[in-house]
Amino acid sequence: MRDSSPVLARLRESLQQLEPRRATTPAALFALGHDGVDTALGGGLARGRLHEIFADAEDASSGAGVAALFSLRAGEGRPFLWLRTEAMQKRVGKVHATGLVELGIDPANMLLVLAPDDAAMLHAAAEAARCAGLGAVLVESCGPMRGLDLTASRRLMLAAEASGVTLFLLRIAADAAPSAADTRWRVSASPSIALEADAPGASLFQIELLRRRAGPPAGPWRMEWDRDRLCFRRPDGRGIDGISGAGGGLDGRDVERPAPPLSRPVLPLAPGGAVAPDPAPFVRRAG
């Protein structure tokens, strides 16, 4: 992307307004809330690092939901930037503000930027990762991302390390390739636990740690999102540390149980704009 790009120019203006917001240095790790995952990570995910999140095409919404919630946890109240290309927007639809609110994300605390292509998006990601006023940067793509190689991922990692901003690469229907990412995850939808009267339960995801620079792979786990506490947790009935209680395994992984109904839809599409006045006739399900 050329420096004269209108997208990058507007992004720089927004980042300049955010830069003075960071007054304290956050902790090196941020916990997700799920004890099994946090234990496997040695306390939580590392801030100021690059993390990859992979999801199949049918689990695109689950991947987007987890990536957004990871960004929320990493930010500790600071805004996060969501980057996607115009082609991605046309392919999967607009992010609906009501869906974000359902997850506990304040749309006013999130910047959504559309880039004309992958190269422009990577340029914008590197630029944003240097802004210490951001809590996280989420880069969303589908299929192969042109220009993303080991060298490009190292640039992103170095920018994140210098500023302390956490970077998440959301790769939908993409093949894993060598990168400088600190961790690599696989996300898919998981059946929720029904509430009273068989009502759909909280959003629930299956997540697996495929690669970690500081340790071995781990999982999979089922993680339920607690909207009130803004953190992940074990589904109801799970034992502490995966040892006691129904469904817990001795190695900390979650063991499959009978599948209850799917959870309510999150991140619904807005057919007429960023925020539609009425519920969309079609929604993407994320867990």
The string of DSSP letters for 205-265 reads EEEEEEEETTB--EEEEEEEEETTTTEEEPPTTPPGGGTSSTTB-TTSPBPP----PPPPP
Residues 42-92 have pLDDT tens digits of 999 999 999 999 999 999 989 999 999 999 999 888 889 999 998 888 888
- pLDDT the model gives residue 217: 92
Q: Can you tell me the distance from the alpha carbon of 89 to that of 74, in angstroms, rounded to the nearest whole number?
A: 24
- Sequence spans of domains, the chain: 48-242
User: Which architecture does CATH list for 48-242?
Assistant: 3-Layer(aba) Sandwich (3.40)
- pLDDT the model gives residue 108: 86
Residues in contact with 236: Cβ distance below 8 Å, sequence separation at least 6, in sequence order: 193, 224
Residues 232-273 have pLDDT tens digits of 999 864 433 333 233 333 334 554 444 444 444 445 444 444
- pLDDT the model gives residue 140: 94
Residue 131 has pLDDT above 70, yes or no: yes
Interval 185-203 mean pLDDT: 78
Residues 147-158 have pLDDT tens digits of 999 999 999 999
> From edge to edge, which strands make up the β-sheet containing 80-85?
110-115, 80-85, 136-142, 166-172, 50-55, 183-189, 204-212, 218-226, 231-233
User: How many CB atoms neighbour CB 249 within 10 A?
Assistant: 13
Residue 188: closest CA among 214, 219, 213: 219
Residue 22 has pLDDT above 60, yes or no: no
Residue 175 has pLDDT above 50, yes or no: yes
